[in-house]
Each structure stands twice: as C-alpha cells, then as structure tokens.
A and B are shown apart, each in its own frame.
Chain A
Amino acid sequence: MKKKDKILIQQKIDGMLSDAQEKAFQLLMLNSAKARDFYEKLCLIDQRLKTDAAGVSDLNLCPGVMDNVPVNKNFEVSNRKLITLRTNSILKYAAVLLVGLFLGATFSTIILSKNEFADKNDLYGTIIKRSGSKTLYSNGATSIHLQSMLSGNVSINLFTIETNSEVEFEITNKSPNLDAQNIITVQNGYNIDQTGTSIGDITGIIKGPSVFQLNVLKGNQTSAVFRIGNDVVAKAFFE
C-alpha cells in the first residue's frame, strides 16, 4: 500500500476527507484488499479508543486545588521575572565559578561614570535549571548580583551553566527597577540559540565554552555588563 493511501485512510478515520478525497477513498476500498484490511483495523482501534475514553470518569479538582492556592497571593509583589536561555554549546558543562569577586575602582575593566545605578537598580538574579516542572537551584552556585555601582564595586557571585539544557535567569524581587525588559544579551561570534520567552525579550546572548555575557539595559541607558569566561570582566557603562 502506498503512503498516500495510508494518509487517505487516516484522514477518513479523522473525518477530514474532501469530496474528491472521499471518491478516491471509495475507489481505494474497492480495489485494494490490503487497504480495506488496514482501514478496518485502524477503525477498530479508533473505535475502541473512543469507547475507552468515554469511560474515563470525570472528576472535580476544583475544591482541592482552590484549597491549596493562597487566597491572598499578591502577584504584583511576588512577581519574579524569568528569561529562558537555551544553551547550545557542544561542551556538556561550561561551568564558570567565580567566588565573591569584589572588584574595586582600580579594576581596569570597570568603567563608571556619573549616572550609575542607584542601589535599588542593582541586579539580583539567579541562574536556575528546570526539570519538568521542578526548579533546580544549584547549590550556592547560581546567584548573580551586580551591586553598589555608585561606589564602583561590582560583586559577582558564582553560577553554573549546563549546556544542552534549558537555563533560566531569574531576576529576584530585590531588583525592583529591573525586569526582563531591561535585560539584553549580545551576540559576539557565538550563535544565538533562543530568545527570551518571558516578560520582554533577550535580543542576543554570548555563549560559548566558559563564556556568558549578559547586558543590562536601564531605560535608554546602556548598561551594566558582566562577562564571565576565561577572561573575567565586569563592566558598568552609563551615558
């Protein structure tokens, strides 16, 4: 039996044949015993599945679910914004660990000017991974904090990116003036795999072995930048 005949049979079972296709189907049934056999067996399976599905009892989850949701949950306050990044490097683990890197004004790659972020604009976030519906926080290896820009100090804690898996950067409530719309990432010789899927979009991302760069855009002002890689840099640019 030809593939197109099998597709015709499937469409017949799904009730999706046009008049012309119906004629072709009738012709096929007349002329091919094999096709008839195939059709009859799929019909039987289809029928049994429908009967079985009809026998599944209905249930009412509402009371149980509503009992388990906090009636006073405030989504405005507890809103946590997520950006999803999908890493695509061939390396299984491009783990980057930076421990309490405290960069002073003397650090040559930090460029500060007069319009630095106020503390309330500090970026706090967490790199998380998801496994099904579970959120996995790597032990002590996920938080990112760009702080005290005014005084010229940048603190980057450590994080891990597992490549070939979905990684999200979660901005916490401690960043009241920043959300995903304030975050952009920049391509720099590495493939962009996926844009953000939460509030706002990621426009680009630098990825590669041991390299991850995230740019922070505040309004029209660019930006705080940190980059973690073989060459560790952290920058804050403000116009």
Chain B
Amino acid sequence: MSTDEDRIWVNEVMSGKVSHYRFLVEKYQQPVFRVVFKICGNTNAANEIAHDVFVKAFQSLSQFNPKYKFFSWIYRIAINSALAHVKQNKRMVSIDRLPDMADHNADANNNEIDSLLHKAIEQLPGKYKVLIAMKYYAGHSYTDMAEVLGLEEKKVKSRLFDARKMLKDYLEKTKCFNY
C-alpha cells in the first residue's frame, strides 16, 4: 500500500479536487468489498456496506488524521460497519448465506467441503473472521493486518493460527475430511 500516494489523493480531495476521490475508491474498493463480503456473507449487503463506507469516509475526510495511513482508516470503517451489520442481522445473514455463496462459486455449489468451510467461517468469532477475510479475500500481509487492527504482528500470526485451527477442528467434527 503506497501511503504517500494516498496522502496525495487525500490532500487533493480536501483542497477541492473532489473528483480525485475516485482514485482512492478505485484503489480500495475491491479489497474493502471482499473483506466486508466475507464478514457479512452476503453480496448485496456487502455491496451496500462497501458503498456506504466510501461515502462515509468522504464525508469524514476532514477527520482523517494524516499521521495514520488511509488504508488502515478505511479498513477500520469497513470492518466496523460489517461487524455491526452482522450483529444487527444475524438471522438474515444465516438465511442469505447459502444462495449467496452459490452466486460466487457455482462450481463449488455441490462441494461439501466448501459448503462446510463457509459454515465454519460463519461460526468463527468476529475477530477471527476478520483475519480470515483480510488474509484470503483482501490479500493483506501480516504487517498490514497488524496496522489495520492495531495489533502486534506476532498477535496477528497467532490469532490467524487459531482461526485456521478452529476451521480445521470444525471440519474434523463434521467429518468433512473423509470426503
């Protein structure tokens, strides 16, 4: 993540070149959407949340502290929004989850492991789900994850290890590895 480049765009936008905000949106829309999607498990909701994240970020741009990195800030907004959505719509997410997965991975529709894996991720506590989402769906490095989440890198590694182990344990319980 080039933070210098981000700072330039932020400054440009704040100095009146509002249309330049699109460069920040273009840069971060995919990873932000992917993280939000994996946390909330629903394409439509993820789309809406990601959209709102960028609009809110724009509206709050004057509160952005240039001491920090733009990507950390935008991810924090995204993660908090996604987690809040999950909290508010627990039942809805669980109902929407399966058809939504089918949209994204039709080939895996009949794949028991994938289906169980999604279920296992759904059941992870939020802090672990966030790491899985950031690592796999947004391709973040440990350093980036540590920065965004305000954790030490060591902590991120150990938490991701725990998350993977929880997934493994869940799949073992469901005898998924026997397929």
Measured CB to CB, the residues of A under 8 A from B are: 6-7, 10, 13, 38, 41-42, 44-46, 48-53, 55-62, 64-66, 68-76, 78-82, 131-133, 197-199
Contacts and interface: CB of A to CB of B under 8 A. Distances in A.
A180 to B, nearest CB: 10
B117 A71 contact: no
A59 B117 contact: no
5 contacts: A6-B161, A53-B136, A65-B21, A66-B22, A68-B55
Contacts of B139: 53
Contacts of B81: 132-133
Contact of B58 (A10, A56, A69): A69
A78 B16 CA distance: 12
A41 B170 CA distance: 12
Nearest to B164: A42
Interface size class of B (residues with CB under 8 A): 35 or more
A199 B113 contact: no
B51 A65 contact: yes
Given A62-B25, A133-B81, A199-B65, 8 more contacts: A42-B164, A48-B113, A48-B117, A52-B118, A61-B29, A80-B62, A81-B62, A197-B67
Contacts of A61: 25, 29, 33, 47, 50-51, 54
**What does DSSP make chain B's interface, helix, strand, loop or mixed?**
helix
A199 B63 CA distance: 8
B34 A56 contact: yes
B77 interface: yes
A133 B104 contact: no
Contact of B14 (A42, A62, A75, A198): A75
Contact of A58 (B13, B15, B30, B160): B30
Contacts of B4: none
Contacts of B165: 6
A199 B168 CA distance: 45
Contact of A44 (B53, B83, B137, B177): B177
Interface in B96-132: 103-105, 107-108, 113-114, 117-118, 132
B49 to A, nearest CB: 10
Contacts of A13: 164
Given A61-B33, A65-B58, A78-B62, A56 B137 contact: yes
Contacts of A53: 34, 38, 136-137, 139
Given A48-B114, A52-B117, A41 B168 contact: yes
Contacts of A38: 168
